[in-house]
Structure 1
Amino acid sequence: MLLAFGNFTADPSVNLQLLIGGLALGAIYAVVALGFVLVYKSTDVLNLAHGEFLMLGAYFALTFLISENLNFFLGVFVLLLVMLVFGLLVHYGIMRRMVGQGFFAIVLITLGIATIIRALLLIFYGPTERARLDLLPQGSFEVGGATVRHVDLIIFAVVAGCVLLFFLFFKYTRLGLHMRAVADDIEAAAAMGIDPDKVYAMTWAAAMVMAGVGGLLFGHVTGAIDRSIEAIGLRAFPAAVVGGLTSLGGSIVGGLVVGVIEQFANGHLGTKWREPVAFSVMFVVLLVRPTGLWGRKDLERV
């Protein structure tokens, strides 16, 4: 039996479809939030340019995979390599000089980076929106009366694979262990011979690669690729906060939770409620637990 109140419906097939779409959207939020949290956890930098990094990844994907018509796997490799190099340039060209500076000065620097990226994209690509990427299968199939898109399942699988590789890298590689050590205690890590500067550089590179993956995937679900994609960084911010700005695993769960909440708000209440509902959830979590659901509370001796 179908129950309705306004746009709300208890139809299981509709809710299943919203759930699947929400998990796919949440997976993109998760990979964006992962890069956001990685930078904050390792360098104590609140990177407000991460939405622009995602937008940069989407435009580069459009360039390499559509304009240059590269083989899909070669194009993805080039995309991620360019994003990695760009991350190194951000560290060595800008952020390295800001080490030891005040928190707000560094935040303003990231806003400056965001402004520069937006300006460069406007110069090289112009103000006209571009068609979305359609390289992944666009078909669908029925499950319990719900329409499941192939692209949603692929996005979820790709993000799951990337997250698994990411955590294996952190747990079993030498550089990953160094990054964890610096994030936990930079003085102790330096005393053990770990170079924090190298770790910071690889942190920015890894975050940029994550943004490249997010831009590539989001380019398949957005209506068009344009400079409004930067807003996805703002929409992924609640995911990072809900999970905890110091918890990499929390950013994944937070991304999925926010994605599902947004999709249900969009389906039952309308598009205009997507962001207010997501940010309301963030505010509630902050009121109950200021460090996020899985964030770590740092103790300071006074």
Structure 2
Amino acid sequence: MGVFAQAVWGSIVTGSLYGLVGVGFVLLFRASKVLSFCQGGFMLLGAFLFYDLVKNEQLPFLVATAITVTLVAMFSAFVYIVVFAKVAAREPFATSVATIGLAGVLQAVVAVRYGTSPLALPDVVGDRSFQVAGATITVADLVSVGITLLVVAAILLILAKTQLGLQMNAVADNPGLSVHLGVSAARIATIAWGLAGLTAAFAGIAFALRSSVDPVGVANIGFFAFPAIILGGLDSVPGALFGGLVLGALQNAVAATLGTDWVDLVAFSVMLAFLMVRPTGLFGKAEVVRL
């Protein structure tokens, strides 16, 4: 019973990180039909910036988190305005490819500044743990899942209840018509890039709290967000979270039954199967632009 409970909790924690990163992918795709490959890079940037603030500047957890997500969100929006805005207006596919280059630049900058070895994060949330149904739950795990739930809930609330959300939904549903109705597609895309950077930074912080500030581990989280959003749907925020949870459960089940060597093979095989059978994902709309 304890092993099963631990596996379930591990699936929730890991899946929530996939879902949080996936939400950023979805926001960008809805706003500009760009599938960004630099979410892992922004996640990496957030994790190491947070490390700097709590390790070197010795800032409290909440202050360091607020500064980190704000700076990464602003940087993400700035990069779109300066680098990608004109390209995206002409050809979203070219922008998607260009984001691979941005991801490489961010990873190189982090490697030059911090190196490539994992760095131990100071204890900023406490190292306490407790047992629930045989599963060991740490405070860091709870904070990680709590961050995901709060951020996703806030984004869903914005999309459903605010004027900005209505404009973002209009651009996602019919970009051409929304422009004729006075909605600035460029402004919505800029905001979407900022929100995507924010979600990636939160995910980087959450991952660092649970283990260490590890460039390889952070990059893997960003990489595995792709199967999650394919499962959930490229244009569905709830679908991204659901897909992340399903992927986390699938990975834990495969690791327990077949071994860790099979995890990547099964995860990406499932992704390919969905692309062939149901390319819109479980929650995606019928009409999705193929990149």
User: TM-score w.r.t. structure 2 length?
Assistant: 0.93
Match for residue 256 of structure 2 among 250, 262, 267: 267
| Matched AA of 2:72 | M
Are 1:29 and 2:15 counterparts? no
Are 1:109 and 2:98 counterparts? yes
CA distance in 2, matches of 1:100, 1:162: 28
Are 1:44 and 2:33 counterparts? yes
1:147-205 CA-to-partner distances (Å, cap 9, x unmatched) read 23332233222211111111111112222221111111111111111111111100000
CA distance in 2, matches of 1:285, 1:127: 34
- Tell me what 1:55 maps to: 44
Instruction: Check the 8 A contact 1:34/1:251 in 2, yes or no.
Output: yes
Structure 1: which 4+ aligned runs deviate by more than 4 Å? none
Instruction: Check the 8 A contact 2:144/2:209 in 1, yes or no.
Output: no
Please list every run of 5 or more consecutive structure 2 residues that lacks an aligned counterpart in the other structure. none
User: Structure 1 residue 40: deviation in Å?
Assistant: 1.1
- Tell me what 1:246 maps to: 235
- Tell me what 2:219 maps to: 230
Are 1:152 and 2:141 counterparts? yes
| Matched AA of 1:182 | V
CA distance in 2, matches of 1:254, 1:291: 12
User: Structure 1 residue 99: deviation in Å?
Assistant: 2.6
Instruction: Within 5 Å, give how 1:103-182 maps onto structure 2.
Output: 103-132=92-121, 134-182=123-171
Higher helix proportion, which one?
2
Instruction: Check the 8 A contact 2:69/2:201 in 1, yes or no.
Output: yes
CA distance in 2, matches of 1:79, 1:67: 14
User: Structure 1 residue 103: deviation in Å?
Assistant: 4.3
Are 1:201 and 2:190 counterparts? yes
CA distance in 2, matches of 1:264, 1:153: 22
Identity %: 31
CA distance in 1, matches of 2:198, 2:213: 22
State the secondary structure of the residue aligned to 1:99. helix
CA distance in 1, matches of 2:216, 2:52: 15
Instruction: Check the 8 A contact 1:55/1:227 in 2, yes or no.
Output: no
User: Structure 1 residue 227: deviation in Å?
Assistant: 4.7
Match for residue 68 of structure 2 among 53, 72, 79: 79
Instruction: Check the 8 A contact 1:243/1:293 in 2, yes or no.
Output: yes
Q: After the TM superposition, which of the residue ranges 199-208 and 147-156 deviates more from structure 2?
A: 147-156
1:210-255 CA-to-partner distances (Å, cap 9, x unmatched) read 0010000011223542255222111111000000111111111001
Distance 1:20 1:211, change over 3 A: same
1:96-140 CA-to-partner distances (Å, cap 9, x unmatched) read 121333344222211111111112112222334311464223322
Are 1:295 and 2:284 counterparts? yes
Are 1:214 and 2:203 counterparts? yes
| Matched AA of 2:187 | K
| Matched AA of 2:221 | I
State the secondary structure of the residue aligned to 2:89. coil
Instruction: Check the 8 A contact 1:42/1:182 in 2, yes or no.
Output: yes
Instruction: Check the 8 A contact 2:233/2:239 in 1, yes or no.
Output: yes
Q: After the TM superposition, which of the residue ranges 232-241 and 137-146 deviates more from structure 2?
A: 137-146
How many residue pairs match? The answer is 289
CA distance in 2, matches of 1:104, 1:182: 18
Distance 1:113 1:92, change over 3 A: same
| Matched AA of 1:108 | V
User: Structure 1 residue 77: deviation in Å?
Assistant: 1.0
What is the RMSD computed on CA atoms of the aligned residues? 1.9
Please list every run of 5 or more consecutive structure 1 residues that lacks an aligned counterpart in the other structure. 1-11
- Tell me what 2:180 maps to: 191
